[in-house]
Structure 1
Amino acid sequence: MKHNFGAGPCILPQEVFKAASEAVLDFNGLSILEISHRSPDFVKVMEEARENVKKALDIPKGYTVLFLQGGASLGFLISAMNMAGKHKKAGYINTGAWSTKAIKEAKNAGLEVVEVASSEDKDFSYIPKVDDIPSDIDFLHYTSNNTIAGTQFKSIPDTDVPLVCDMSSDIFSMPIDVSKFDIIYAGAQKNLGPAGATLYIVKESILGKSTVDIPTYLDLQVQHKKDSMFNTPPVFSVFVSNLNLKHLLNNGGVDAMEKKNKEKAELLYNEIDSNPNFEGATAVEDRSLMNVTFRLTDENKKEQFDKLWNEGDIVGLKGHRSVGGYRASMYNALSVESVKALVNIMKSL
């Protein structure tokens, strides 16, 4: 068995893989890949998946849960268009590539964008302080975890304006106070399920109030009224996501995941900090629990280290092409044993 530190699509529990593979062959007499999304069997799956999201995150009343498509890349545009208000002006905290793309899509939606804070001056290696949030913006947007640079918000920005968050890479890894947000969106392929579905958690009171023209599919009010069934949903991705949600709930929920994720991160960061062959790539106080980025202190040892981890059944450790170095992505299903295997290889360098 290989140790998968890839940044996504995600590692999932073996029990989930087994149940999913069985359903490909037989799901109440048909394959899950061929059933109608209008059939009672799948409607039940969709309803259960939405309810399990609510249970897992303790979502209060007044929020709708949707499974759509397009990933966070479409979510950048969907969130901006649905949150456009009387000012047609939005605030963004820029912490890296995904925030930068979100800003671009907000401008494509016809909004004026204010960067209320940015860490671009140091190659996005830290989370910037947000000192001044304009009162005339329709919403404030941020990306909770930067998968490329390896930084993560440790607290929710304190603001009175509506809050929107791209939580693609750390949702379900810890408890969150959903009541502080108007829209949360997240691609499934990190901690939730296979690529294909995109999760939206939306405060119902914002629906139908946009001040810009929204294409029908991108209108969250339409999707809410159709219970995520406006068009054919990503059936298999939703099905496997529901299997994973049930596994999460049966194994201590997000509280247990947070404890496990902190243990894994502590193991690896301790090795990075104590081993003279390595150095962390981000500000210590902003280090991500999901994506640990680090570098060799002597690039002459790269060939030797790469040989060690490749022969040690480690996969997905290469850093993002835009920053180099190494990145160990440690989503919920990655075991502590896998982290220990990596640490032992690092010790042997």
Structure 2
Amino acid sequence: MSTVINKPRLTTSAMIASIATEGQRTMAAPFGHALVAEAAKRPNIVGMTADLSKYTDLHIFANEYPQRHFQMGMAEQLLMGAAGGMAKEGFIPFATTYAVFATRRAYDFIHQVIAEENLNVKICAALPGLTTGYGPSHQATEDIALMRGIPGLTIVDPCDALDTEQAVAAIAAHDGPVYMRLLRGKVPLVLDEYDYQFELGKAKLLRDGRDVLIISSGIMTMRALEAAQVLGDGAADVAVLHVPTIKPLDEETIVEACRRSGRLVIVAENHSCVGGLGEAVATALMRARVQPEFRQIALPDQFLAAGALPTLHDRYGISTSSLVGSIKQWLA
């Protein structure tokens, strides 16, 4: 008779969406809780998803308002079409799914059903950029590039839990379609230390510095702040300009910050180097005839590997240590 030995099951962090480091302060499900709070004030808010309530934190809303929660099944085109119909009836639909499914699979429905008619739909999409290790099928590395091309669509890329929480209220108050990159689960909390207040369409200078200006969005603002602290030990004085709204872009604030001479300007984003914040900023600077020394930190124009997030962030240059290394090299 053979003996069966129960070995411990090996696990992988490939699908873990949290980008919090060990010991970092976090807030659980800021999107879900913020939506519940906003729904208490706005009875026309409804929550909709394509079989992903638990994985977009919409289940918190569903538990609080079961009659206002709509499960559309694995049919993202139907989700967007139905959200458009809800908006036409006076509701404010918050439609959640993964960013790859919202932008790639349902693009035509967002373009034609929602955006062309300027309907009041809020698309909140989890796993943006490189926030999952499941490979190209789940890594929405080009979502902003796709969405930037849709006329009239507002695009929001929050940095942390506070940004997400405040953005929910702001986009609910905004009349028109919105695409928001969604941070889910245990989300880092960093911006409360910088007297921060989200304003739709506004970039915010979180810290000033004479040597380097990092213009960033999403989780890269958190990385930029961490890098600034590391480099502040004699290596470089780093300013961080957070751009939570990608479209419409706060070109006035960005251009004015880049007029200051003698600073290296770096755009850092958790997105492909094609079609995202970096190219939007570069275009704005060219139009304004402002020409600082310019660098870009972004994901490469390629299909990315699968694996554990810390390893992938190092490999593709968006970890804090990679950011610090790149800045030191450029300043040398």
Same structural fold, with TM-score higher than 0.5 when normalized by the shorter chain = no
Instruction: Using structure 2 for the length normalisation, give the TM-score.
Output: 0.25
